[in-house]
Amino acid sequence: MPSLRTRIAVNGIGAVGGFGCGVNDLEKSLSDRVCQPGKVEIISGEGVIELPVFNAETQRLESYVPKRALRRVDHFSRIAVLGGYLALEDAGYAETSSGNMGIVVASGYGAAQTTFGFLDTIIEAGDGCASPTFFSNSVHNAAAAQLSIFSRATGPNITISQFEMSVPSALVTACQLLAEKMVDFVLFGGVDEYCSVLGYCRHRLFPNEKPEGMAPLHLNQQSAIVGEGSAFFLLSRPEDSISPYCFITNIIFGNLRCEDVSLPPEAFLILGADGHKCCGRHYAEQIPCGSRVAVYANLYGSLPIGPAFDMAIAALSLKSGEIFGVPRQAGENPKWQVIHHGEKLNREPIYCVKFNENGDFGFIALERE
């Protein structure tokens, strides 16, 4: 399997999602083992559709950035900027030399709301009244750009969009920028937002078979609930680390058509299963019997950058030395040792495992030492 063996320190974590905002909120939802989605209504050709959604709130951003400075920053960028600020704060990063920091952002769908908001201005008022503000905010790299403007990071600024493989793919880039010493720090993360079109498309293409809730471990049932949010990390080479949570040691990627999957038997696996049965079958077929596994998508929902949340949870586990139990509604799967209650983590690595419908896979290995 192609892979990038590396050793990159995770110094700070910032996470925003349905569970709340920041590491403390994420840890609380992990301890409580529950996160309730909100509800949205979509008016469609089938009438009013009510959908559960894990929404992200960004009010807290105003404690970092004056409200006036945010007036032209859309929800997508706000989620990212908040995640970035939280990660920098968590790392205790002092803005001493902004040229030393690069930014790498992964996003599956980009600024979806603003993209359709731009179309609204055209449809409602004609081509000549298209909004330049909406247009400039709708480009996929707008969030990364806003992050650089607010954090004054002048290193390389890269945005990657590879649907469910966006996070592992972008992480390779982030690690390489550090390995090549192009920068000393990288603010790396994933961000995706909900919009009504996305919700409608999910409803049409993947009708929910489990209205009672998301059950990612029931791999042959469609139970995905859309989520939005961001998870950011301040990464560095080990020698520049600031009291790191853990280290990223390997990023493995490939496609099942070309090769079989091989995972270390001692590793604890966080599965990126998020209630999509088209992807679920790959977990069922590829993860060996008896593997120690957990899934946490019930806490943040189904979104392309889900692996970034799994990375955050892995880092928290490695720092605390304890694996969090799966959320209450995650379901069961007798093939594996599913961690339902907190368990001690020994020295084994944690692998965040993600498959997409196409059979592409991305695994991110994290270790304490």
Tokens of 290: 């008896």
Our CB check for another protein shows the closer of 30 and 235 to be: 235
CB of 217 to another protein, least distance (A): 25
Binding to another protein (CB under 8 A) within 331-360 occurs at: 358, 360
172 vs 163: CA distance, rounded Å: 15
200 touches another protein (CB under 8 A):
yes
Picking from 259, 107, 244, the residue whose alpha carbon sits closest to that of residue 185 is 244
In sequence order, what are the beta bridge partners of 51? 40
Query: Residue 353 has what DSSP assignment?
Result: E
Our CB check for another protein shows the closer of 93 and 109 to be: 109
Contact assessment for residue 263 and residue 288, using Cβ atoms and an 8 Å cutoff: yes
Buried b (16+ CB within 10 A) or exposed e, 226-254: bbbbbbbbbbbbeeebeebbbbbbbbbbb
76 touches another protein (CB under 8 A):
no
153 touches another protein (CB under 8 A):
yes
CB of 27 to another protein, least distance (A): 32
- Tell which one of 57, 135, 348, 367 touches another protein (CB under 8 A): 135
181 vs 203: CA distance, rounded Å: 45
Q: Where is 317: in which H helix or E strand?
A: helix 306-320
Our CB check for another protein shows the closer of 245 and 247 to be: 247
Picking from 149, 162, 157, the residue whose alpha carbon sits closest to that of residue 174 is 157
The region of 18-26, 239-247, 257-265, 317-325 touching another protein under the rule CB under 8 A is 257-265
The region of 25-33, 254-262, 321-329, 337-345 touching another protein under the rule CB under 8 A is 254-262
- Tell which one of 115, 208, 230, 302 touches another protein (CB under 8 A): 115
304 touches another protein (CB under 8 A):
no
CB of 135 to another protein, least distance (A): 4
